Amino acid sequence: MGKIINLDTATKQILDQVKIAILIIDPQTGNIRYANPSACDFYGYSADQFLAMNIGQINPRSLTEILKNLQNAYSGRNEYYSSMHQTATGENRYVGIYTGPFDSGNEQLLIVLIHDDSANKEADDRLRSLSQAVEQSPATIVITDRKGKIEYANPEFTQTTGYLVEEALGKDPAILKTGEGNRKEIGEMWQTILSGKTWRGEFCNRKKNGDIYWESASISPVFSEEGVITKFVAVKEDITEKKQMIGKMEESLRLNQAILDRSPIGIIIYKASGECIHVNPAARIIVGIPTEILLNQNFRDLDTWKESGLFDIAVEAIEKGETISSELSYVSTKGKELWLYSVCTPFQAGEETHLMYMFEDITTRKRSETELKKTSDELALYVKRLEERDREATGLREMSETLQVCNHLNEALDVVKNFGERLFPDSNGTVFLSDQTQHMVESVCFWGSELSGEPIFTYDECWALRRNQIHVVESISKDLLCGHMPRMFDGSYVGFPMVVSGEMIGLLHIEWPEKHQIDLETREFIQNVGELISLSISNIRLRETLRNQSIRDPLTGVFNRRFMEETLEREIPRATRKNANIGIMMMDIDHFKKFNDTYGHEAGDVVLQKVTRLVQSVIRKEDILCRYGGEEFIVILPDANQEITLQRAEKIRQEISGLNLEYDKQSLGSITISIGVANFPENGSLGDDVIQAADKALYRAKEGGRNRVCAA
């Protein structure tokens, strides 16, 4: 059991009133000689129980290590460290510990200041979470404790150095040193990071296999909530096989102050009246007011305290009779802006109420939090941009794949409308296509709520079309507004000319109703979309042209025999399923060879063209007119029975009989036509059967005198 020490009344009153756990310990044995009420409350032991205990009973660290720390403090080297202490209930608490010599008059002891360091524990947890987040980082990331021992290294560390992480944990980065290096530069590095700043530079190191390599490094200190450097974080990149990092990371921050005057925390003691009776050096430095001035001033009269909020804390603590803590901004007399963690504890000294102010400069931590938030926000923004780029790339790829399988222009425009809404949300957009004159464009596809400009306009009314390059308007106050846009337009827009092989296809126009920042990435994406649309439209038009060439008669423009056969192959199974009819007309211009021989082939071509136009004007939209060969034509009439087919054929015969023909200002007279009619399924179950039936009916019409209609 430890021997009770004698404390003078003033010292004991102060220690008993302090709301921070305080123990006084024999540095040689670790026996506890004194515990204040706060320590009893914190650990759950009575003062008498403490006197029968050794510090090793509440500290899980080895007694050898504990006594080493105590003896260092006893010899004048104040110690600070974090540890896990155990209370009487078995609860483990994360604490920060300050130790320093204490003169009790007849023997040298140690005074130990203990505070709950949960905030640092949370910071450590966040740091470990961050380590997990960077496991896949291509950069080497190493975290050391405050003594420079490696606590964490990501997988890239092993990839770069050849050491397994397990081999490196607990060791100093000096295992990588080559013995080379610029001492001055290394000294500047330590000077920088120990001053709380980030150091950046290069090192030359040696791998496990002996290879030399160079690294660029950025080394930053990590601070506890008390502003103490607890760790170092190094982010390193292997820049070449010859440039690598040397040196080691260590922490040698000393805490040279104990309780009151030697405490690293600023402490000021006031009477309740406001009179200052004690100021320690740390407090003088923090508040920026000389000690002699503070001792001769009443805190109730200090404007700097009222402006910072310290005055309000003091008054509230006095009125409530309880400890009050707060983080607040403080501007020193020299204009330096600080963040303080302030604790005001009222206590009784005799019959008089006193206040103990304890201040901690947390400016560095606050700045670190601000920088961390800024970095986090920037990272979130970067991730968001990556997601947007991925969404755009995916959308563009899907749009391209869909456009590639479109057979017609209308299908492609529907695809553009659908993807336009997905790729450019909150925008209005349209595709304008050029007319045949290549002087005007017309809107053919639109997405969004409402288009601000004109749906049809000339090239001269659009800067993008006139200059043949993308035109961006973020604000009409500083950018050129196109003529097709209203003068009162107050948003932003982009116009991209769609050109393929020198041909102006049209214009991609995207607008935002309100002012919108259109950055370079957005412009490039719009250009990619515009180029994809223009190329797709050009390809579809080319395919349609080739398709028409393969199924159209070049002279008359009607469908050819090949298309007729494809149509019958499609329509007969459909009619069979629906139990429907199909009418077939086979027509032949009477005496066409004689007409050709008399007036020439060019006049004959005119006759064929006018006959096809007249027939198209008589038949229905769904009926299909085909040139069967020479002067013979076939009309396919879906869902038409024999009666309807005969009526339609007779109408065509009459109209052609009344047709007056003229070529090169010369009258060609009139012509007649003979028509044979057949029907599916009455005249056959196959297309060839029905065609043969109509052909035989046509033959009878010719044999019967021509200019007539005969049914099969």
Instruction: Please report the pLDDT score of residue 709 as a whole number.
Output: 94
253 — pLDDT class (breaks 50, 70, 90): very low
Lowest mean pLDDT among 167-171, 643-647, 682-686: 167-171
Residue 246 confidence (pLDDT) above 50: no
Question: Is residue 79 scored above 80 in pLDDT?
Answer: no
Digit-coded pLDDT (tens) for 609-623: 999 999 999 999 999
Residue 392 lies in a domain: no
Q: Is 369 a catalytic residue?
A: no
Separation of CA 77 from chain center:
51
Distances from the Cα of 191 to the Cαs of 198, 236, 256, 359, in angstroms?
A: 10, 19, 18, 26
158 and 73 fall within a common domain: no
Q: Distance between alpha carbon 157 and the CA centroid of its chain, in Å?
A: 28
Q: What is the mean pLDDT of residues 579-589?
A: 95
DSSP of 163-211: --HHHHTTS-GGGGB-S-S-HHHHHHHHHHHHTT--EEEEEEEE-TTS-
Strand boundaries in 386-536, DSSP class E:
428-434, 440-447, 456-458, 471-473, 492-500, 503-512
Residue 86 and residue 126 in one domain: no
Question: What are the beta bridge partners of residue 675?
Answer: 587, 709
Catalytic residue among 322, 474, 631, 703: 631
Q: How far apart are CA 38 and CA 419, in angstroms?
A: 68
Alpha-carbon Rg for the chain, nearest whole angstrom, is 47
Instruction: Kindly indicate the confidence band of residue 360, based on its pLDDT and cuts at 50, 70 and 90.
Output: confident
At 405 the pLDDT is 86
User: 3-state class of 300 per DSSP?
Assistant: helix
pLDDT at 245: 42
For residue 497, tell me if it sits in a domain: yes
CATH of the domain at 153: 3.30.450.20
Residue that is written with structure tokens 């791998």 in the block: 207
37-60: per-residue pLDDT in tens? 988 998 999 988 988 899 888 988
Given a cut of 70, whether residue 535 has pLDDT beyond it is yes
Mean pLDDT of 203-221: 82
Distances (CA, A) of 538 to 417, 505, 526, 531: 17, 8, 18, 11
Q: What percentage of the chain carries pLDDT values higher than 90?
A: 23
Domain around 676: 561-711
- The CATH number linked to 468 is 3.30.450.40
Output the average pLDDT for the chain: 83
Q: In what order do the strands lie in the sheet with 582-589?
A: 624-629, 632-638, 582-589, 673-680, 709-711
Residues 506 and 579 placed together within one structural domain of the fold = no
Domain boundary among 540, 573, 605: 540
- Nearest residue to 458 (alpha-carbon basis) of 430, 484, 489: 484
Residue 124 and residue 112 in one domain: no
Domain match, 34 and 167 both: no
Cβ atoms within 10 A of the Cβ of 451, count? 16
Label residue 313 by pLDDT band (50, 70, 90). Answer: confident
Q: What is the mean pLDDT of residues 319-330?
A: 80
Whether pLDDT at 329 is above 80: no
Domain co-membership, 465 together with 328 = no
Is residue 338 situated within a structural domain? yes
Q: Do 705 and 568 belong to one domain? A: yes
Cα four-point dihedral sign 534, 536, 542, 544: negative
Q: In terms of domains, do 46 and 160 share one?
A: no
> Is 699 inside any structural domain?
yes
Contacts of 340 (CB under 8 A, 6+ apart): 286, 308, 327, 328, 329, 330, 359, 360, 361, 362
How far, CA to CA in Å, does 530 sit from each of 33, 148, 314, 417, 525? 83, 57, 68, 13, 9
State how many domains the chain has.
Answer: 5
| Residue 553 lies inside a defined structural domain of this protein | no
Q: For residue 394, what are the contacts with CB-CB under 8 A and spacing of at least 6?
A: none
Partnered with residue 337 across adjacent β-strands are: 331
Banded model confidence at residue 244, pLDDT cuts 50, 70, 90: very low
Residue 475 above 80 pLDDT? yes
> Residue 447: what pLDDT?
92
Question: Does residue 254 surpass a pLDDT of 60?
Answer: no
Residues 505 and 590 in one domain: no
If you count them, how many residues does the chain have? Answer: 712
Prior bond to 681 cis, omega within 30?
Answer: yes
Out of 56-65, 118-127, 680-689, least confident range: 118-127
Least confident of 69-73, 81-85, 334-338: 334-338
pLDDT band at 571 (very low <50, low <70, confident <90, very high): very high
Q: Is the pLDDT of residue 390 over 70?
A: yes
The contacts of residue 303 (CB under 8 Å, 6+ apart) are none
Same domain for 81 and 167? no
Please compute the mean of the pLDDT values over residues 276-304 and round it to a whole number. Answer: 76
Residues 109 and 127 in one domain: no
Q: Is residue 396 part of a domain?
A: no
Burial grade of 69 (CB within 10 A; 0-12, 13-18, 19 or more): buried
pLDDT of residue 179: 60
Report the pLDDT value the prediction gives residue 138, as an integer from 0 to 100: 80
| 164 in the same domain as 31 | no
What pLDDT sits at residue 78?
Answer: 61
Does any domain span residue 370? no
- From 227-231, 484-488, 577-581, the region with the lowest mean pLDDT: 227-231
What's the pLDDT score for residue 672? 92
Last residue of a domain, one of 361, 387, 413: 361
Percentage of the chain exceeding pLDDT 70: 91
**Which pLDDT does position 435 carry in this prediction?**
86
Global pTM value: 0.40
Residue 387 falls inside a structural domain: no
Distance CA 580, CA 568 (A): 13
pLDDT of amino acid 461: 93
Of the candidates 300, 341, 306, 343, the one whose C-alpha atom is nearest the C-alpha of residue 323 is: 343
Q: Which of 75, 90, 116 is the last residue of a domain?
A: 116
